[in-house]
């Protein structure tokens, strides 16, 4: 059988990706689901609150987030093989050179610093760390990157950047 039974898992294993499927009774499953929904709702509320305090902050984030997302896609791709024989993202992977990474990184740092200041630079650092871990895990799991994993990395980077900015502004506002 292609099944690989892992055994009992802890609550944090659900989000770590230790296993693909968690089997539990209805009460526990519903409790985990409701807690996850509550955390997601809290994060969205936190982001709305932080970015609605200042219209410039919201505009800055809207300008900088796509830049960080695209940069994350380049970062996740450079030096990694393409996981498939063919596909629409193969040309992107083949074109993602070390020189392209440097140009994208310098451009991203300049835009993040100009638009968001220190919070922008903090977001670049956090996104760099998260995307590095993500790309390594994807490459180990699939043998390389795919168009879907590259796109997911970019979208995840935008969310991580928004959370970093909101936390940065929240801490600065509380100080």
- pLDDT the model gives residue 1: 61
pLDDT for 124 beyond 50: yes
Residue bearing the bigger pLDDT, 44 or 153: 153
The C-alpha R_g of the chain, in whole angstroms, comes to 19
Q: 82-100: per-residue pLDDT in tens?
A: 988 887 788 888 888 999 9
- pLDDT the model gives residue 173: 64
* Strand partners for 83: none
Question: In whole angstroms, what separates CA 104 from the centre of its chain?
Answer: 17
Contact indicator for 101, 116 with CB cutoff of 8 Å: no
* Strand partners for 82: 145
Q: Residue 149 and residue 154: Cα distance in Å, rounded?
A: 9
Q: How confident is the prediction for the chain on average, in pLDDT?
A: 85
The most confident of 8-12, 29-33, 107-111, by mean pLDDT: 107-111
Q: 58-67: per-residue pLDDT in tens?
A: 788 788 888 9
Tokens of 62: 């809207």
Name the CA dihedral angle for 5, 8, 12, 18, rounded to a multiple of 10 degrees: -20
Share of residues in the chain with pLDDT > 70 (%) = 97
Tokens of 141: 């799991």
Alpha helical stretches, state H, 21-146: 26-52, 55-77, 90-95, 98-116, 118-142
């Amino acid at each position: 059988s292609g099944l690989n039974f892992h055994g009992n898992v802890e609550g944090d294993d659900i989000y770590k990706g230790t296993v693909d499927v968690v089997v539990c009774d209805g009460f526990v499953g519903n409790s985990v689901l409701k807690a996850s929904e509550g955390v997601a709702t809290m994060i969205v509320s936190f982001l709305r609150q932080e970015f609605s305090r200042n219209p410039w902050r919201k505009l800055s984030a809207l300008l900088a987030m796509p830049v960080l997302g695209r940069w994350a896609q380049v970062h996740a791709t450079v030096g990694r093989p393409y996981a498939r024989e063919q596909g629409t993202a193969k040309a992107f992977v083949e074109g993602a050179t070390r020189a392209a990474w440097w140009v994208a990184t310098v451009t991203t740092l300049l835009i993040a610093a100009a638009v968001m200041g220190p919070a922008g630079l903090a977001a670049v650092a956090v996104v760099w760390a998260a995307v590095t871990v993500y790309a390594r895990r994807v490459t180990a799991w699939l043998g390389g990157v795919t168009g879907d994993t590259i796109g997911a990395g970019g979208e995840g980077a935008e969310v991580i950047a928004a959370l970093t900015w909101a936390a940065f502004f929240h801490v600065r506002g509380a100080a």
